[in-house]
Amino acid sequence: MNFESNEEQQAILEAIDRLLEQHAGPARAIELNRQGQYDDTLHQLLDESGFTTIASDLATENGPAGLEAALIVEAVARAGGVVACAAQMLVAPAVREASIAGPIALCTLDDLAKPVPLRFGAHAKTLMVLGIGDVHVIPLTTGELEPVRSSFGYPMGRLTEANRFFDLSAAGDCLGPEAAQTMANWWRLSLAVEAVGTMDAALTHTVEYLKQRRQFGRAIGSFQAIQHRLSLCAIGIEASRWLVREAAYHGAQNEAVAAAAAFTLETADQVFTETHQMSGAIGFTCEFDLHVWSMRLLALRQELGGVGGARRALVEARWGRTP
Amino acid sequence: MEFDWSPEDTQHRRDVQAFLEQELPENWDEMSQHGPGGDSQAEFSRIFCGRMAEKGWLTQHWPGEYGGRDCEPWRHSIVGEEMWAIGEPRGSQYMNVNWIGPAIMNYGSDQQKVLHLPKISAGQVLWCQGFSEPEAGSDLAALRTRAEKVGDEYIINGSKIWTSYCNHADYIFLLVRTDPESSRNRGISVLLVPMDSAGIEVREIPSVVGERYFHEVFFTDVKVPTDVLLGEENNGWNVVNYALQFERIGAARYARAAVTLDKLAEVAKERGMLDDPIVVDRLGEARALCEAARVLVYKVIDIRAKDRSPTADTQLARVLSTNCDNAIGRLALEIFGPESREYASFADTNFRLAMTAGVAVGATEVQLNLIASRFLELPKE
């Protein structure tokens, strides 16, 4: 057991933070979101700097280096990066050894059937579809998915009407049940990883604001009614962070992932609610950075059954099948 | 970062589990229903801790010179988890090994070390902590119990309240005011007082938590030699802060909560309650909470294992651990429904033992204050 970074992890964290400081951040996220754009530059930089393939590059006999990849995804989320690195770095290498072209959008069969807006859908080069007992890895050309305007902080895309009923079995690789369970676990974990970085940034932003903002002749952050709630958010985020890292380290096993996601996605709702409530009206404006992170938290809670799905998966993993 | 147990630690956990299987009496569940302070559990703790001491496990995390084996705190945390999970057969002696012994090692005179540490590491002595007073609960620095130095003696007058375990204790780790002119956290000292000293009276405070759970301890002209002073006179606040960093996560509440939850899930499954999505949701929520509390406690153990100064991580872990204990205590009442109305039923016992979690060793609100100032660095004003 060791909760401190080793030298290699420290070097990775410092390098990713340097890159993100230059090429990401809330101002860039706001600009890209305004135009519904994907951050191709950041995506390319992550590729060229070797971050994207870190899970397989640092793989050991125990499998891909999930923890190191998770640390990077957490950092990118903290910086509000508009890139699909969670799917690329955590989900794809666990599901298939051969590389999968990014950006990657993740969805379930049900998501496609409805169809719902998918994060990064309009910009994805590959669609990974979690079926019932299988995974479809579908290369996209252009135009299968169209942009959808969304309030929730990510560029979104949805299958067009013309592509609504396309034949999955004829479109790309189909992987078996093992891949399906692996994809479900890593996808669920990647949501929690992103949520940790995102919550962290939302709370930090709020705490800094509440140290400065004065009402009733004192900093808002000095009121005990505020402090206790911020403390509870901090507890939730720290516990989420370590649950998620531990689960990534152990290769995203069912029970650990479900516990980490159940706790983290519940905390995400708390952090959304509290950071907005405490930031007041300015928190709803585009000029105030909070929305870059806060709105994303709600989007992350909507995939793969959200909190309820994670809790159900946790009960099944620990105590056996539920109806 | 890495999150593996060493093979030796994994084996140690198995050994401890096998030891518990062998040593605990058949009526252990009944015996442990009043918690570590109950009469039968207190008496049993002397036998049980003696056996643990023979194994070399009771104080294995202590330095060799004090009867330990210099094991990492991780090893001791395994013992703590397994003991709490099953109802703490060490009784109140978990406090001895977690923080009373270490406080004596750090601040005690040679004479105090010789007197106390061998008894603690042999599992043959019971302690209680004399901190809270009627007017000094969460605000511990308001304490008034007075120890006046007269010649080579202290004369103690005052009272302590909520004192668990004192009805069987041999010693009390007593916080007193030694400087009558002082206020708040200055002028406080720690005395290691034998409970059979003349002038000490113990009264049980009946409560809904369990029998022999709370007590008042009255000190009327209690005379003790000045060599019972631990550390420097009027420096007791520092001694207590040092000790409490160990105590706040000393009880592995999440481990007990997790075992209770496993039992609740088993019952829910047997009774077909897993058909109810609300029950499934509540069980999942509770299990995630146990895991969250565990991982934060582990973070604190890691800090201790590296011999770093304590951080606000202790408070984070403490709050989540108590929330977890409370939540699962209440969930037990929901799963068992009206059956929990019977005293000493499974749900009743677990609920009662969990219900004090947010108040003991510093209320949750005090922990949240500390997190706000030390972790988030929010202004006081």
Residue A229, CA distances (Å) to A213, A270, B358, B371 in order: 17, 10, 16, 11
Chain B residues in contact with A218 by the CB 8 A cut-off are: 379, 381
Q: Token digits for A270? A: 């708390």
Contact check, Cβ <8 Å, A249/B316:
no
Pairing outcome for strands A135-139 and A173-175 = antiparallel
Contact A135, A144 (CB under 8 A): no
How buried is A265 (Cβ within 10 angstroms: 0-12 exposed, 13-18 middle, 19+ buried)? buried
Which amino acid is present at B7? P
Contact check, Cβ <8 Å, A1/B365:
no
pLDDT given for residue A129 in this prediction: 95
* 323 residues of chain A, pLDDT tens digit each: 999 999 999 999 999 999 999 999 999 999 999 999 999 999 999 999 999 999 888 888 877 889 999 999 999 999 999 999 999 999 999 999 888 998 999 999 999 988 999 999 999 999 999 999 999 999 998 788 999 999 999 999 999 988 876 777 677 889 999 999 999 999 999 999 999 999 999 999 999 999 999 999 999 999 999 999 999 999 999 999 999 999 999 999 999 999 999 999 999 999 999 999 999 999 999 999 999 999 999 999 999 999 999 999 999 999 997 65
The residue of chain A nearest to residue B314, with distances taken between CA atoms, is A235
* H helices present in A137-279, as ranges: 177-212, 224-249, 254-279
Q: What whole-number distance in Å separates Cα of residue B343 and Cα of residue B210?
A: 10
Contact check, Cβ <8 Å, B296/A210:
no
Burial B231-252 (b: 16+ CB within 10 A, else e): bebbbbbebbebbbbbbbbbbb
Contact check, Cβ <8 Å, A219/B284:
no
| Residue of B287, B296, B368 with shortest CB distance to A318 | B287
B130-168 pLDDT, tens digit per residue, is 999 999 988 889 999 999 999 999 999 999 999 989 989
The listed CATH number (1.10.260.40, 1.20.140.10, 3.20.20.140, 2.102.10.10) that belongs to domain B248-375: 1.20.140.10
Contact A144, A160 (CB under 8 A): yes
DSSP A117: P
User: pTM for the full model?
Assistant: 0.95
CA atoms within 13 A on the CB side of A186: 32
B5-39 pLDDT, tens digit per residue, is 999 999 999 999 999 999 999 999 888 877 777 88
Contact check, Cβ <8 Å, A1/B266:
no
Q: Does any CB of chain A come closer than 8 Å to the CB of residue B152?
A: no
pLDDT given for residue B40 in this prediction: 85
* B 243-272: CB under 8 A from A: 262, 265-266, 269
| Residue of B2, B365, B379 with shortest CB distance to A2 | B2
- Tally of residues, chain A: 323
Chain B residues in contact with A314 by the CB 8 A cut-off are: 284, 287-288
Region B65-88: mean pLDDT is 92
- Fold for the domain defined by A182-319: Butyryl-CoA Dehydrogenase, subunit A; domain 3 (1.20.140)
Using DSSP, state whether A242 is helix, strand or coil: helix
Q: Give the closest residue to A300 by CA, choosing from A157, A154, A159.
A: A154
pLDDT given for residue A322 in this prediction: 60
pLDDT given for residue A257 in this prediction: 98
Domain spans of chain A?
Answer: 182-319
Domain spans of chain B?
Answer: 7-125, 129-234, 248-375
Using DSSP, state whether A38 is helix, strand or coil: coil
Q: Token digits for B182? A: 């002082």
Q: What whole-number distance in Å separates Cα of residue B78 and Cα of residue B255?
A: 10
CATH code, B7-125: 1.10.540.10
Rg (CA), chain A: 19
Burial A153-167 (b: 16+ CB within 10 A, else e): bbbbbbbeeebeeee
3-state secondary structure A59-102: CECCECCHHHHHHHHHHHHHCCCCCCHHHHHHHHHHHCCCCCCC
Neighbour tally for B24: CB within 10 Å: 17
Q: Does any CB of chain B come closer than 8 Å to the CB of residue A6?
A: yes
Q: Token digits for A207? A: 């705490």
Q: What whole-number distance in Å separates Cα of residue B346 and Cα of residue B354?
A: 12
DSSP A114: T
Contact A219, A212 (CB under 8 A): yes
Q: What whole-number distance in Å separates Cα of residue B142 and Cα of residue B135?
A: 7
Q: Does any CB of chain B come closer than 8 Å to the CB of residue A322?
A: yes
Q: Token digits for B187? A: 């002028």
* A 224-283: CB under 8 A from B: 224, 226-228, 230-232, 234-236, 238-240, 242-243, 245-246, 249-250, 256, 258-260, 262-263, 266
Contact B24, B86 (CB under 8 A): yes
Using DSSP, state whether A58 is helix, strand or coil: coil
Q: What whole-number distance in Å separates Cα of residue B242 and Cα of residue B230?
A: 13
Q: Packing angle between helix B277-305 and helix B73-86, nearest 10 degrees?
A: 150
Q: How far is A316 from chain B (nearest CA, A)?
A: 9
- Tally of residues, chain B: 381
CATH code, B129-234: 2.40.110.10
Looking at chain B, the whole-number percentage of residues with pLDDT higher than 70 is 99
pLDDT band at B67 (very low <50, low <70, confident <90, very high): confident
The residue of chain B nearest to residue A205, with distances taken between CA atoms, is B376
| Residue of B265, B301, B320 with shortest CB distance to A235 | B320
Neighbour tally for B267: CB within 10 Å: 16
Using the predicted structure, report yes or no on whether residue B294 has a pLDDT greater than 80.
yes
Q: Give the closest residue to B106 by CA, choosing from B120, B122, B117.
A: B117
Average pLDDT, chain B: 93
Rg (CA), chain B: 21
Contact A257, A188 (CB under 8 A): yes
Q: Which residue in the block uniquely carries the two structure tokens 């009558």? A: B180
Residue A137, CA distances (Å) to A83, A90, A91, A179, A218 in order: 19, 15, 12, 11, 56
Using the predicted structure, report yes or no on whether residue B247 has a pLDDT greater than 90.
no
* A 63-92: CB under 8 A from B: 67
Chain B residues in contact with A257 by the CB 8 A cut-off are: none
E strand or H helix at A174 = strand A173-175
pLDDT given for residue A27 in this prediction: 97
**Per the omega criterion (within 30 degrees of 0), is the bond before B63 cis?**
no
3-state secondary structure chain B: CECCCCHHHHHHHHHHHHHHHHHCCCCHHHHCCCCCCCHHHHHHHHHHHHHHHHHCCCCCCCCHHHCCCCCCHHHHHHHHHHHHHHCCCCCCHHHHHHHHHHHHHHHCCHHHHHHHHHHHHCCCCCEEEECCECCECCCHHHCCCEEEEECCEEEEEEEEECCCCCCCCCEEEEEEECCCCCCCCCCEEEEEEECCCCCEEEEEECCCCCCCCEEEEEEEEEEEEHHHEECCCCEHHHHHHHHHHHHCCCCCHHHHHHHHHHHHHHHHHHCCHHHCHHHHHHHHHHHHHHHHHHHHHHHHHHHHHCCCCCCCHHHHHHHHHHHHHHHHHHHHHHHHHHHHHCCCCHHHHHHHHHCCCCCCCCCHHHHHHHHHHHHCCCCCC
